[in-house]
Amino acid sequence: MPDATRCNFLQQTSIAGATLLLPVLAAAQDKQGTDKKDAVKAKGDASISPAEDLMREHGVLNRILLIYDEHLRLLAAKKTFDGSVLASAADIVKHFVEEYHEKLEEDFLFPRFRKAGKHAKLVDTLQAQHKAGRETTAKIRELSGVATLKYVSTDSEKLADALREFLRMYRPHEAREDTVLFPAFRSIVSGHEYDALGDDFEKKEDELFGDEGFFKIVDQVGELEKKLGIYELAQFTPK
Ligand SMILES: [Fe+2]
Ligand SMILES: [Fe+2]
């Protein structure tokens, strides 16, 4: 492949793209014009259970996985793209999935399962996967994030490998949590503790990401999908 073509991967990063590298979560604090919408959302959010809370966070993760899928498709087609979209997606994984969602699992769920002597092996595997995921996210962030970096084919291959590695692990990881761990959680804590944990999770989320922070993160992911052209759901309906 000619050098000029090789250097094309991801190099279409620009000053405009670089602005996207600004912390996604700073924008998540932005309250612009959302107060009314938030008030409506808050109503429906009043009594969310820990399992529902964690599962809708998996919904965010799933939408990030779709963003990763799309980048893999672009890499395979040797198409250029703005690396800052991928960097922002990896930032959301780091701050929302790894430092918040997985921390909830590690602090509030895993110790209770261990204490109850239930799903101990599964919990060990899930915890080891969190650690591995953080390493893969750091790789994805590094390979996608430097706006002025000129990508050659080896970097593109490394990035594709890291994206595949992340997708390969997280789809079964979250599916197992949704179908085995979370349903079992209700049976190892009292009703009172279960309800209190739901409230604690919500409070923590709002502390970290602002009032009704979950919906702000969802909006952030939606913006990235729009930039990639995968936001409109109807485009995926078979014709
Ligand atoms: Fe997990
Ligand atoms: Fe999870």
Q: Ligand nearest 56 Cα, by number?
A: 2
pTM above 0.85, yes or no: no
Report the pLDDT value the prediction gives residue 131, as an integer from 0 to 100: 98
pLDDT higher than threshold 60 for residue 239: yes
pLDDT tops 60 at residue 38: no
Structure tokens at 61: 């993760």
Task: State yes or no: pLDDT of 96 exceeds 70.
Answer: yes
CA torsion through residues 80, 81, 87, 90, sign: negative
Nearest to 69 by CA among 174, 224, 216: 224
Cα(179) to centroid(ligand 1), Å: 12
What is the average per-residue pLDDT within 83-103?
96
Give the CA count within 13 Å in the CB-facing half-sphere of 202.
20
Q: Rounded CA gap, 59 and 204, in Å? A: 19
Closest of 129, 79, 88, 82 to residue 106, by C-alpha: 129
Q: Distance between CA 76 and CA 5 in Å, rounded?
A: 14
Q: How far is the CA of 151 from the centre of ligand 2 (A)?
A: 32
Measured in Å, residue 100 CA sits from the centre of ligand 1 at: 11
Ligand 1 is an ion; its neighbours by CB within 5 Å are 105, 126
Q: What is the pLDDT of residues 128-177, one digit of tens each?
A: 999 999 999 999 999 986 544 455 567 888 999 999 999 999 999 999 99
167 Cα: distance to centroid of ligand 1 (angstroms):
14
Q: How far apart are CA 141 and CA 70, in angstroms?
A: 16
Q: Which amino acid is at 12?
A: Q
- Answer yes or no: are the C-beta atoms of 178 and 58 closer than 8 Å: yes
**Cβ 11 vs Cβ 80: under 8 Å:** yes
What pLDDT was estimated at residue 14? 36
Nearest ligand by distance to the CA of 123: 1
C-beta separation of 113 from 187 below 8 A:
no
Which residues have CB less than 5 Å away from ligand 2 (the ion)? 177
The ligand with the least distance to the CA atom of 129 is 1
Tell me how far the alpha carbon of residue 176 lies from the centroid of ligand 2, in angstroms.
Answer: 9
Question: Letter for the amino acid at 104?
Answer: L
131 C-alpha to center of ligand 1: Å?
10
d(CA 194, CA 138): 33
**Is the C-alpha dihedral spanning 94, 101, 24, 59 positive or negative?**
positive
Q: Is 216 buried (19+), middle (13-18) or exposed (0-12) by CB count in 10 A?
A: buried
**pLDDT, tens only, 114-126:** 999 999 999 999 9
Helix axis angle for 50-76 and 153-176, nearest 10°, is 150
- Is 42's pLDDT higher than 80? no
Q: Which two tokens stand for residue 3?
A: 């050098």
Give the 3-state secondary structure of residue 26: helix
Distance (angstroms) between ligand 2 centre and the Cα of 101 equals: 6
Closest CA to 173 of 125, 235, 220, 219: 125
Amino acid letter for position 184: A
Tokens of 50: 């820990």
Closest ligand, as measured to the CA of 96: 2
CA of 189 to the centre of ligand 1 (A): 19
